[in-house]
Amino acid sequence: MTSSSSVNTSRRRFLGGSCLVVGFTLTPKGLAQAYDASNNASKSAAKTLNAFVIVAPDDTVTVLSKHIEFGQGPYTGLATLVAEEMDADWAQIRVDSAPADNELYANTMFGAQLTGGSTTMANSYTQMREAGATARTMLLAAAAIEWSVPASELTVEKGRIRHAKSGKESGFGAFAADAAKLTPPEKVTLKNSSDFVLIGENRPKVDTKVKTNGEAKFTLDLQLDNMLIATVLHPSHYGATVSSLDAKAALAIPGVVDVKAVPSGVAVYAENTYAALKGRQALNVKWNESAAETRSSEQIIDSYRAMIGKKGITATERGDISKAFSNDTSTTHEAEFVFPFLAHAPMEPLDAVLMRQRDGSIDCYAGSQFPTGDKQAISEVCQIDAGKVRIHTQLAGGSFGRRAQFNSPFMREASEVFKASGMSRPVKLFWTREDDIRGGFYRPIYVHQLKGAINADGTIDGWDQVVVGQSIRGKTDEVDETSVEGASDLPYVIENMRMVSHNTTNGVPPLWWRSVGHTHTAFTVEVFLDELLEKSGKDPIEGRLALLKNNPRESAVLRRVAQMASSAGKPAKGRVHGVAVHKSFSSYVAQIAEVSVQADGTPKVHKVWVAVDCGVAVNPNIIKAQMEGGVGYGLGAILYDEITLGEGGYIKQSNFHDYRSLRIGEMPEVIVEIIESNESPTGVGEPGVPPIGPAVANAWRRLTGKPVRRLPLVRSQLS
Amino acid sequence: MKTQPKARTHLGIKTFLFGVLVSCATPYAVAETPAKQDLQPVSAFADIKNEVTRSQSIFVEMGKVIQHPRCVNCHPKGDSPLQGMLMQPHQPPVMRGPGGTGMPGMQCKTCHLSENVDVVAQAADIKSIPGDPAWHLAPTSMAWEGKSLSDICAQIKDKKRNGGKTLQELKHHMSKDTLVGWGWEPGEGRIPAPGSQEAFGQLYVAWVASGAHCPK
Amino acid sequence: MIKFQLNGKQTEFNGDPSTPLLWVIRDEKKLTGTKYGCGIAQCGACTVHLNGSTLRSCVTPISEVSGKEVTTIEGLLSSKVSAEATAVQRAWVAIDVPQCGYCQSGQVMSAVALLKANSNPTDQDIDNAMAGNICRCATYQRIRQGIHDAAGTLTASASSNVKGETA
């Protein structure tokens, strides 16, 4: 076994349809050589028709995904688009991750290669279809030359090119080499949606089978020859630095190879994972907490409260807000909402493998959500040209926003750890669950204050909202859209409306968390509106619809979800429905939650009906899965989750025992319907999350009479 | 974060039963910091002339063990164990199942092995996973959670609710059973029950010898 | 030296006897289908079978499995002797259970252990058996359906076997 040749590159291939894996990213030792030999041969013969499509002599079509796969389905979705326009057979499709390259693989909505904002389908829909159509055109052109027939007489069905008059027929593979020599067409014609064969079909994901039998390789599973395992001891106060280090006991543990201080803490390098953990436990480190956040969560919340009423930044203002609230015949309603820090807690904690080749270039294997940023980070820290860094994006065990970090702080840590090791051996840095839960980059704490005015005839005619919280985008004197999105663009027709934002700073860095600003704005808007409707004697559905007269897509999902819930019959005794509707990432989702109170006083969410409008439904199965998952992920958070800074700023929670995740017995039955649409497809990874919190809170209030003012709900309502 | 006010405030009125002195605790978030309690020896009660009073007093002393979370946590009134000094619901959720050993797929032994296992470089408040070869929940008939010491005492004496044992037969259980003994050797990061199993066994013997009178 | 059966084959481990089984399986035996998720038996990603019952390998010192039989996801599915394993995997693929997939080895191990003990579980049985397996993607609804579907195919094949025998 040679040390570097056993590392295969990023070529991960899945056979679509039957979901058979024919290759891994990295093969277990012992299998590697055979795998290399067989695979390199077919790889060298495979022809790249464009940045996204590779056709091999055996007729397989490999689609390169510029987006990371962590369960939201881009490998399947993007491949579907290519296959559709190529008229390929789904069984011949394989998917692989694209390398890091902003020129070729930028997210067209952001200008850099990244996965986020639920934009995968939206930014790729036309691009990937064009890639497929281009490949098809080139293959047909090559076939036409070879067969001496006009290309216009050729047809393609299920990956077979045919010329009816001559009876000639072939797969794609035979023409791949010739097609690759042709100049790609300037323009291609895309199919009409009425001609779609694959788009709109329910289809299991291409990576499902390997995710069921243990074969799927994640970064943590990669094992390179001579590789060191590294773990970093981090401080319990975010932002503390090492003041003194005694590594003697750690170094005495068999298997521990080295200990080094790095900017984020102390790295322990070992021959195996257990030795690394034992070494970490044996470290004797004193921390300097002068740069750490020393306020508790309660102190932070109080300081945010103190900012309400002070001059903030106006995010939106229409009508005459002061007049609406000075009308003697109006009634007003006020509420404050408090949201905790939230950790993302993906199942696979953050990790990365870095390895230097003999020519000085570096290979990085990671669940890289911003691969070009990661490349830059490695280049800067390890001081090599970015052109000599290769990112091999791996399957990732969830993200929910955690892997999407500008400036790549995690990859900087991994690079620092790698650099401090001397870079002579491959290094896998792995985070424990504690590193993850205490690792900062939380959904920030937010405090909202809302005031509503209902005039004498029961019309809601005043809405005044203030939000105080950390700016995820680092804004100071201007509005951070991620603080106000979903509220400042209130879809309800309310004549006088204002939203003011205050950006705060905090020693614990913020990050987007599945659905970003909508995690809190949707809650405030949908809960507060529900209370205003109740106070003005209006039905929660009809009342919303009346205020949504200018927003047909919100109205349509709301009507649909109401219909779904009512066709299920009256809720059983003791169960109450709560509703919420919210647009995020250009998709529209309405949910109705059926809730009761359990014997121990906590809420039980029995059922959730979901209606979603995300434009063209490329794969309804994946859309439904994302709605189910969005409901479950959001529900766990609103019921149970908070990261709390205790007195002096230490992070209280550390693992799943005190940072609860929704468990199977707490998962409601989720019933999803997709609105038929010809609009361009929009996001589904995040939009399922925002409505679940307010839908449950609205049901809870109608059930118990207790409005929800603070999350997590279970603690605030029952303590 | 479910509230269970009774469990939190009634450390003083829980019950004993033939049984297993255990806490199936993978402890909860709260670090266990209170100091270990002592258990007075039998000799400390020798001056009490009235045998009934002496017997009752000895049982009250035994109550420090019996009502300790290490013991009550696995004598719950419901179908799931409690955990930690705050006696919160066990995480992950687990049901008692047949014989108190859990349910298919989620048994006690899925996580609890033949002995305590130290956890390395993980949660600061979880230093070990407790274990014993016989790790299981006491049957519901032997539930102590939420009961007064007087009720627990009566329960221990009641053959219908103590596993059909005479008080003599219970002696081995109290003083020798390793699962009971776990309460004093609960593993890193967990506060042991007061005293020692030996001292507790001696109190039990003295209580039986003095007529096994129950406190009011 | 600790000797044990791993996926039907005799194997041994010469390192620190307190090493968690999880790291022996992954680092030494190169079987990476079994995952690390929490290290404290809270999430179930590391679930294997010990003599047929579920075991959290992250809190099991290798010394505990001496002389015993450990089965990982790789062994479970390669053995072909387990009708339950085959039924679960087929059901998982048919209704597309996994999302990110990281927890799914553990989910499958627990589901198979359940079905071995209870061939026709109720929703409550499923919730009890699977309560220790966290899925952050919240694929729970499909996990529950997958177990019911697998139970259905097991029952169907069992009854057809019976018919075959009597015929």
Q: Which of A96-110, B17-31, C112-126 has the lowest mean pLDDT?
A: B17-31
Number of residues that this document lists for chain B: 216
The reply to whether residue C111 touches residue B114, judged by beta carbons under 8 angstroms, is no
Higher pLDDT, B16 or A188: A188
Nearest-CA distance A672 → chain B (Å): 28
The reply to whether residue C39 touches residue B122, judged by beta carbons under 8 angstroms, is yes
- How far apart are the two ends of chain A, measured CA to CA in Å? 60
pLDDT at A37 over 80: no
Tokens of A461: 């005619």
- Domains of chain B, residue spans: 5-26+38-209
The residue from A397, A430, A463 where one domain ends is: A430
How many A×B Cβ pairs under 8 Å?
57
Q: Is residue A21 part of a domain?
A: no
Residue of A nearest to B84 (CA): A657
Q: How many helices (H) and strands (E) does chain C have?
A: 6, 5
Cα angle C55, C57, C62 (rounded to 5 degrees) comes to: 110
pLDDT at A550 over 50: yes
Separation of alpha carbons C59 and A184, rounded Å: 57
pLDDT at A30 over 80: no
- Per CB-CB distance under 8 Å, the chain B contacts of C16 are none
Nearest-CA distance A235 → chain B (Å): 12
Structure confidence at residue C78 (pLDDT): 77
pLDDT at B22 over 80: no
Same domain, A240 and A170: no
Q: Nearest CA to A25 among A220, A173, A208?
A: A220
Percentage of chain A modeled with pLDDT above 90: 90
Chain C interface, best mutation among B110, B120, B129, by max C CB count within 10 A: B110
Nearest-CA distance C9 → chain B (Å): 22
Tokens of A540: 């929660």
Structure confidence at residue C160 (pLDDT): 74
Average pLDDT over every residue of A248-261 = 98
Which residues form the domain of A711?
A: 297-340+442-718
The reply to whether residue B122 touches residue A433, judged by beta carbons under 8 angstroms, is yes
Same domain, A695 and A569: yes
Q: What average pLDDT does the structure give for chain B?
A: 86
A231, A434, A719 member nearest B123 (Cβ): A434
Inter-residue contact B64 to B72 (CB < 8 Å): no
The contacts of residue B50 (CB under 8 Å, 6+ apart) are none
Q: By 3-state DSSP, what share of chain B in percent is helix, strand and coil, each rounded to 5? A: 35, 5, 60
Residue of C nearest to B91 (CA): C42
Inter-residue contact C23 to C90 (CB < 8 Å): no
pLDDT at A12 over 50: no
Looking up tokens 């750490």 gives A292
Q: Nearest CA to A633 among A672, A666, A590, A675?
A: A666
- The domain defined by C80-159 folds into DNA polymerase; domain 1 (1.10.150)
Nearest-CA distance B117 → chain A (Å): 14
Q: Give the CATH number of the domain where residue A322 resides.
A: 3.30.365.10
Higher pLDDT, C158 or A267: A267
- What three-state secondary structure class fits A327? coil
Q: Is A427 on the interface with C (CB under 8 A)?
A: no
User: Which B residues in the span 26-85 are in contact with A, Cβ-Cβ below 8 Å?
Assistant: 26, 28-29
pLDDT at B195 over 80: yes
Separation of alpha carbons C97 and A618, rounded Å: 18
Separation of alpha carbons A281 and A285, rounded Å: 10
- At B7, the pLDDT band (50, 70, 90 cuts) reads very low
Nearest-CA distance A458 → chain C (Å): 41
Higher pLDDT, A482 or C156: A482
pLDDT tens digits, residue range A121-178? 999 999 999 999 999 999 999 999 999 999 999 999 999 999 999 999 999 999 999 9
Same domain, A491 and A625: yes
Structure confidence at residue C163 (pLDDT): 53
Q: Is A431 on the interface with C (CB under 8 A)?
A: no
Structure confidence at residue A50 (pLDDT): 87
Inter-residue contact A698 to A540 (CB < 8 Å): yes
Same domain, A546 and A459: yes
pLDDT tens digits, residue range A574-621? 999 999 999 999 999 999 999 999 999 999 999 999 999 999 999 999
Q: What average pLDDT does the structure give for chain A?
A: 92
- At A68, the pLDDT band (50, 70, 90 cuts) reads very high
- Domains of chain C, residue spans: 2-76, 80-159
Q: Is B104 on the interface with A (CB under 8 A)?
A: no
The contacts of residue A21 (CB under 8 Å, 6+ apart) are A13, A14, A15, A209, A210, A215, A216
According to DSSP, the residues that pair with A64 across neighbouring strands are: A96
Same domain, A251 and A111: no
Structure confidence at residue C82 (pLDDT): 85
Look up residue C25 and give its DSSP letter: I
Cα angle A303, A305, A306 (rounded to 5 degrees) comes to: 65
The reply to whether residue B2 touches residue A601, judged by beta carbons under 8 angstroms, is yes
Domain count, chain A: 3
pLDDT at A46 over 90: no
B26, B95, B97 member nearest C40 (Cβ): B26
DSSP secondary structure, B114-146, as one string: SS-EE--SS-TT--EE---TT--PPPGGG--TT
pLDDT at B169 over 50: yes
Nearest-CA distance A491 → chain C (Å): 29
pLDDT tens digits, residue range B178-189? 999 999 999 999
Separation of alpha carbons A313 and A320, rounded Å: 17
pLDDT at B23 over 80: no
Higher pLDDT, A12 or A488: A488
pLDDT tens digits, residue range A172-206? 999 999 999 999 999 999 999 999 999 999 999 99
Look up residue B90 and give its DSSP letter: P
User: Domain C2-76 maps to which CATH number in 3.10.20.30, 3.30.70.1560, 3.40.50.300, 3.40.109.10?
Assistant: 3.10.20.30
C41, C117, C129 member nearest B111 (Cβ): C41
Structure confidence at residue C161 (pLDDT): 65
- At A348, the pLDDT band (50, 70, 90 cuts) reads very high
pLDDT tens digits, residue range A86-98? 999 999 999 999 9
pLDDT tens digits, residue range A384-403? 999 999 999 999 999 999 99
The reply to whether residue B120 touches residue A663, judged by beta carbons under 8 angstroms, is no
Q: Is residue A1 part of a domain?
A: no
The reply to whether residue A657 touches residue B124, judged by beta carbons under 8 angstroms, is no
The reply to whether residue C117 touches residue B105, judged by beta carbons under 8 angstroms, is yes
Chain C interface, best mutation among B116, B117, B122, B129, by max C CB count within 10 A: B117
pLDDT at A422 over 70: yes
Nearest-CA distance A349 → chain B (Å): 13
Residue of B nearest to A432 (CA): B122
- What three-state secondary structure class fits B108? helix
Same domain, A274 and A329: no
Separation of alpha carbons B34 and B126, rounded Å: 16
Separation of alpha carbons A96 and A663, rounded Å: 32
- At A682, the pLDDT band (50, 70, 90 cuts) reads very high
pLDDT tens digits, residue range B55-80? 999 999 999 999 999 999 999 999 99
Inter-residue contact A555 to A660 (CB < 8 Å): no
Structure confidence at residue B34 (pLDDT): 60
- Per CB-CB distance under 8 Å, the chain A contacts of B120 are 274, 277-278, 281
Separation of alpha carbons C158 and B106, rounded Å: 25
Higher pLDDT, A78 or A14: A78
pLDDT at B9 over 60: no
The contacts of residue A598 (CB under 8 Å, 6+ apart) are A604
Same domain, A250 and A316: no
pLDDT at A3 over 60: no
The residue from A395, A430, A465 where one domain ends is: A430
The reply to whether residue A213 touches residue C73, judged by beta carbons under 8 angstroms, is yes
Q: Is B5 on the interface with A (CB under 8 A)?
A: no
The reply to whether residue B106 touches residue C42, judged by beta carbons under 8 angstroms, is no
Low-confidence ranges of chain C (pLDDT < 50): 164-167
The reply to whether residue C128 touches residue B119, judged by beta carbons under 8 angstroms, is no
* ipTM tops the 0.90 cut: yes
Chain A interface, best mutation among C2, C130, C141, by max A CB count within 10 A: C141
Residue of A nearest to C26 (CA): A221
Structure confidence at residue C162 (pLDDT): 58
Separation of alpha carbons A667 and A687, rounded Å: 18
Q: Nearest CA to A217 among A116, A97, A90, A98?
A: A97
The residue from A388, A405, A430 where one domain ends is: A430
Separation of alpha carbons B91 and B107, rounded Å: 13
